Structure 1
Amino acid sequence: MRYNYPHASRELAIDTLAFNDTSSLSNEDFAGLMPRIQSLALRTKQWVTVIGGSREAIQQLVNAGVSRSRIRWVAGRDADQREWATEQALLAGTSSVVLSFLGDFSSPRVAQRLKMATKVSQTHSFIFHKQPSQSPLH
């Protein structure tokens, strides 16, 4: 079963049934995916785990109806810590959704590990990366 939503071609590990490991989501895609994230978050009483991210991302979740008491926010000092925390949050199986803001693009090995953790735990996950700068090089 594949879900239809505008950014389906850019998903990294959207859910256990629909994977596309060749691309990822940008931070700007977060707002556009909010209806999908909201739907998944409100299905159960489990955590909505946010790794990295910003206060604005948390506020968008609250504005979408997710109780602040169900949001678990893990900062992570660097990309390695955020990648590790993402994998652990997925493997724990205590979250309805894991939203991870990893920063710069991670290695294919990390992407594969996160994909496998998502599949094993059957936890919905959204992995966000910053898009490369679009400014021309001179």
Structure 2
Amino acid sequence: MKYNYPHATRDLVAEAVAFCDDSTLNNDDFSQMMPRIQSLALRTTQWVTVIGGSRAIVQQLVDAGVSRGKIRWVAGRDADQREWATEQALLAGTSSVVLSFLDHYSSPRVHQRFKMASKVSQTHSFVFRTPPSQSPLH
């Protein structure tokens, strides 16, 4: 199978020492993080859980070589549900990677809960933030 990110090697896995990334990333950062996400996802048979996101995100994972059968996609109706689903996915410990797409900044308390759940389950976690829409002024 041909991967779109051939430079994603085991070296990237060695760099991924922390289980939870401390920073919240913009959605634009997803493509830049894809080699790291790909290397983490391909090294185990566990799930790749996507909370929020879109079909395009799932397709990018498939294009990177992640089997569609290994991807769990949870939509969530609102930010509270997506935050709850993220924490539950991390606590379950059945995913190699949890990718969460939130449309706002999480509170420090929520971020700390993600971090602790990630460490307890040894699950890698990436939280992406959708930037606020720029509506034109009238």
State the secondary structure of the residue aligned to 1:48: strand
Using the TM superposition, give the Cα deviation of residue 130 of structure 1 relative to its aligned residue in structure 2, in angstroms.
1.9
Which structure 2 residue ranges, 5 or more long, are not aligned? 1-13
- Displacement of 1:60 in angstroms is 0.1
Q: Please give the TM-score of this superposition, normalised by the length of structure 1.
A: 0.82
Q: What displacement does 1:102 show? A: 1.3
* Aligned counterpart for 1:15 among listed residues 15, 18, 21: 18
More strand by percentage:
1
User: Which amino acid is 2:86 matched to?
Assistant: T
Deviation digits for residues 39-75 of structure 1 (CA, Å, limit 9, x no counterpart): 0000000000000000000000000000000000000
For residue 72 of structure 1, what is the aligned residue in structure 2?
A: 72
1:55 is matched with 55
Cα distance in 1 for partners of 2:86, 2:64 equals 22
What is the rounded CA distance, in whole Å, between the counterparts of 2:76 and 2:118 in structure 1?
20
Please list every run of 5 or more consecutive structure 1 residues that lacks an aligned counterpart in the other structure.
5-13
Contact 1:99–1:127 (CA<8 Å) still a contact in 2?
A: yes
Q: RMSD of the alignment, in Å?
A: 2.3
Instruction: Quote the residue 2:126 is aligned against.
Output: 126
Q: 1:15–1:118: 8 Å Cα contact kept in structure 2?
A: no
Aligned partners of 1:69 and 1:107: how far apart in 2?
33
Greater helix percent: which structure?
2
1:76 shift after superposition: 0.2
Look up the match of 1:7: none
- What residue in structure 1 maps to residue 117 of structure 2? 117
| Misfit runs of 4+, over 6 Å | 134-137
Aligned residues between the structures: 125
Deviation of 1:24 after TM superposition, in Å, equals 1.2
**Cα contact 2:21–2:126 (8 A) shared by 1:** no
Offset, 1:3? 2.6
Q: Note if contact 1:49-1:71 (Cα within 8 Å) is conserved in structure 2.
A: yes
SS in 1 for 2:106: coil
